[in-house]
Amino acid sequence: MPTQVDQIDGETVGQLSESALLARIFAVLRGSSEALVGPGDDAAVLAVPDGRVVVTTDTLVHGPDFRLAWSSGSDLGFKAATVNLADIAAMGARPTALVVALAVPEDTPVAFVADLAAGLREACDTLSPGCAVEGGDLTVSDTLTIAVTALGVLDGHEPVLRSGAQAGEVVAVCGELGRAARGLRLLFDRFRTDAGDPVPVDRSRLSPEESADLDAQLRPRPPLAHGPLAARSGASAMMDVSDGLVLDARRMADASGVTIDITDVADPDALGGGEDHALLAAFRTGDVPEGFRIIGVVRERGDTAVTVAGHGYDGTGGWDPYRDWDAHRG
């Protein structure tokens, strides 16, 4: 199926009623295993076995967050789901459902919206089986915007917060670091006109390694199942590495009142890049589960929240949508 908005002929969003468009979308999706009442009513009803719900939300906006020239509808749906599923997993929870709000221009092809829905479903099916889209909202806007709310359950365990790391513990990560940053740099370096406008990606111009970096940026596949595993293994603190290892480690260190010393990561892309969605966690030394690799230690609070091999980190990086807006426009 063609997926780029400017390459698809046929029906557009503006030619259909809201109910007709929703029917096309829900024909692509399937319900979650926790849904008692799914799409079609004013609200969904989900089972909550232990009485607690974990909730997070994230928004992707055309311009600062993605470019239609670089991402297909399926890519966008996959990524929009993934960034939210990762936040649920980082609490030690199991994702159960997504609620999605779409604001789309009237000339958006219906096929593109269906492709986006397919990406949402694929992310749920492959990264968190049993989770699915259970409803949302649809409206018209000049700017394509995808807002996703994810819900999860703790299955009887306590949530793992950022604030629990203690001196003497080790810091470990599960998932790759740096690839997404390299993928973003590829897009800006290789797939723009001289005037800076984005152009469609030509995979034939990429090596297998570069293609993998691009996939990490456009269709991230974080190890979501390791979030609940870390919780069961006694993780004292955990978070999703979405804005760069150093920046997110600083957030954990500040919340916990400690210093985190990163001793086993030297790659600038891994330290300062963002959007990897790996899991960063603190454990007692003997509790690190399979799939996590130790990259540092937790120390008593010092002069700085994060050090790299014992020294202050003077590199740049980490994603801040307000600070980095201009740099990522185009």
Name the token pair of 93. Answer: 């929870």
Q: DSSP labels for 159-177?
A: PPPGGG--TT-EEEEES--
Residue 242 known to bind ligand: yes
Residue 56 known to bind ligand: yes
Residues 6+ apart with CB under 8 A from 286: none
Q: Are residues 106 and 14 in contact, defined by beta-carbon separation less than 8 angstroms?
A: yes
Residue 287 known to bind ligand: no
Residue type, position 161, single letter: L
Pairing of strands 311-312, 306-308: antiparallel
Q: Which DSSP state fits 115?
A: H
Q: What are phi and psi of 267, to 5 degrees?
A: -65, 120
Residue 156 known to bind ligand: no
Name the token pair of 88. Answer: 């649920």
Q: Which DSSP state fits 135?
A: E
Residue 65 known to bind ligand: yes
Name the token pair of 205. Answer: 């111009």
- How far from 227 is each of 152, 241, 282, 295, CA to CA, in Å? 12, 12, 12, 17
Residue 136 known to bind ligand: yes
Residue 275 known to bind ligand: yes
Closest CA to 213 of 122, 276, 291, 120: 276
Residue 197 known to bind ligand: no
Closest CA to 164 of 45, 298, 59: 298
Residue 75 known to bind ligand: no
Residue 257 known to bind ligand: no
Please give the annotated binding residues for Mg(2+), written as ranges. Answer: 42, 56-58, 87, 137, 240, 243
Please give the annotated binding residues, written as ranges. Answer: 42, 56-58, 65, 87, 136-137, 162, 240, 242-243, 275, 319
Please give the annotated binding residues for ATP, written as ranges. Answer: 136-137, 162, 242
Please give the annotated binding residues for substrate, written as ranges. Answer: 65, 275, 319
